[in-house]
A and B are shown apart, each in its own frame.
Chain A
Amino acid sequence: MRNSKKGLADGMVGGGIPAAGRTDLNETDRGLAGEVAERSGTEPRRCYACLTCSGGCPFYRAMDYGPHGIMRRVNMGLREEVLASNTIWLCVGCHTCSSVCPMAIDVAAVMDVLRVMALEQGTPVAEPDVLEFHREVLRSIEKYGRTHKLEIMLRLKLHSGSWLQDADLGLKMLAKRKLDLRPSRVRAVHELEKIFKPAWRRSS
């Protein structure tokens, strides 16, 4: 079913909008593309659905729509579909799409904006583990000023409960001292409070 959603395999034109589920464009969010353009600094409406972005995307196979499908949906105003997709969370920002786009659209910048919009709007996140990873990294920075990989990995395990997955790898990395037991820290870590806590909370 995943393939038919994407549309490449079925020979559907223009970014995998399923023919069966017809979309009434009068009902969609016509402001979406403009909002994304404004916030990302790039113009998704230049897209003519050539699919080059998805052709180059290393993560395309794991994505529900792929970058071209996202661009198409943004331009059609399918806000909910776009924000609930796993594509925006599996995009790591490698910019392969941005570097090959014949219309010079910074596709990865669009993905960045869509993730932020999904969080702002409270859309359920299609890849909760990815979100949790990003959160743990930021928690680590808030606490130490730098990332502490061992703690990030252990807290992720705590979150997912999958203790056995990668246990051997973790041990190997510990043995090679690739994972430090203690974090590397910023001495003036209190300075970072200024960006992690709002002023009214800092004073209490």
Chain B
Amino acid sequence: MSMEPFLDLSYFPGCSLATSARESNQSLVRACELMGLRLIELEDWNCCGSSSAHSLDPDMAGNLAARNLSLAPRDRPLLTMCPSCFRNLLAGRTHLADHPEQRRAQERTWGREIDPNLEIVSFLDMLHFLDRLRDMGAAPKLETPRRLDGLKVAAYYGCMTMFPPLLSRVSLPFDLLEKQLGKLGAEVIMWSHGHRCCGTFLAAVRPDITTPLVNEIVGRAIQAGADCLVTACAMCQLNLEIRCSLKAKIPTLHFSELMALVLGAEDYEPWFARHLVDPRPLLAEKGLISNRV
């Protein structure tokens, strides 16, 4: 079933995908394999600094990014799924490209070279790029044994995928998730809260603030008729699950999970079993997974 790999990518999972969102990591690796992409995990990567490094100490955020960049081989693009890691790595690379003297200092610190032109790509961007390749006949056509027909999804970006001003340096089409989900057969609903921030780290220290926010987001999705939310951000996914206090909840799926499912992955059971709001009844009802749970 697996496609012959035609492209190698360095892969930066980040702390969330390595631990609490392991299901996103596993499904991403599977989806990429089914698309003919070989992910080679960045050797001994460190945390990108999340929100905390640049909140307290911008230099620390830059240093953490620099070490990761120093580990990346020159000859292949670096892929990340987590929007926060993506932003931090991109910020680090952009800064070092603009300030060659600081790049040389970082190279001395880590004892490794840093490529100021290293290509850093997010998963969504990658899909867009692959579509173009396929249109040109430069990449093999995708086989999609499953379709998301009849599944009403609310595409949820959160804040990190599109808002950071730094991202204006890379041009991201505005409706990436909707387009991709639509192509997979899903019925993408129109709604208002696709870019509303989930509360990020405030979910850990001020649940009194984040619960109303999360309820508003999930509530609006339900109101608009969604069966589930789909996000490309592991932190959003977790926050929407743990901070929603509505009586009737709907599941929040990682985009990579749906992608892998459509491409024919069969090892999905452990991914969905890890969700705090179980998506299996919904997916079984839509005929996407077998009823045996």
Residues of A within 8 A of B (CB): 58-59, 61-62, 90, 92-96, 98-99, 106, 109, 112, 115-116, 119, 127, 129-135, 137-138, 140-141, 145-149, 152-153, 156, 165-166, 169, 172-173, 176-180, 184, 186-188, 191-192, 194-195
From B15, B64, B202, contact of A90 by CB (8 A): B202
Among the stretches B140-148, B204-212, B252-260, the one at the interface with A is B204-212
**Given A96-B197, A98-B163, A153-B204: A147 and B15 interface contact (C-beta under 8 Å):** yes
Interface pair B47/A178, CB less than 8 Å apart:
no
B219 within 8 A of A: no
Which residues of A sit under 8 angstroms from B196, Cβ to Cβ?
58
Interface pair B53/A130, CB less than 8 Å apart:
no
Which residues of B sit under 8 angstroms from A173, Cβ to Cβ?
20, 242, 276
Interface pair A195/B63, CB less than 8 Å apart:
yes
CA distance A135 to B201 in the complex (A): 12
Residues of B within 8 A of A (CB): 15, 18-20, 22, 44-47, 49-58, 60, 63-64, 67, 109-110, 159-160, 162-165, 195-197, 199-202, 204-207, 209, 213, 238, 242, 273-276
Closest A residue by C-beta to B163: A95
Interface pair A156/B205, CB less than 8 Å apart:
yes
CA distance A78 to B52 in the complex (A): 26
Interface pair A95/B164, CB less than 8 Å apart:
yes
Which residues of A sit under 8 angstroms from B213, Cβ to Cβ?
58
Interface pair B47/A146, CB less than 8 Å apart:
yes
Which residues of A sit under 8 angstroms from B238, Cβ to Cβ?
178
Q: Which 5 residue pairs across A and B have the least CB separation, nearest first?
A: A94-B197, A94-B159, A137-B52, A95-B163, A134-B52
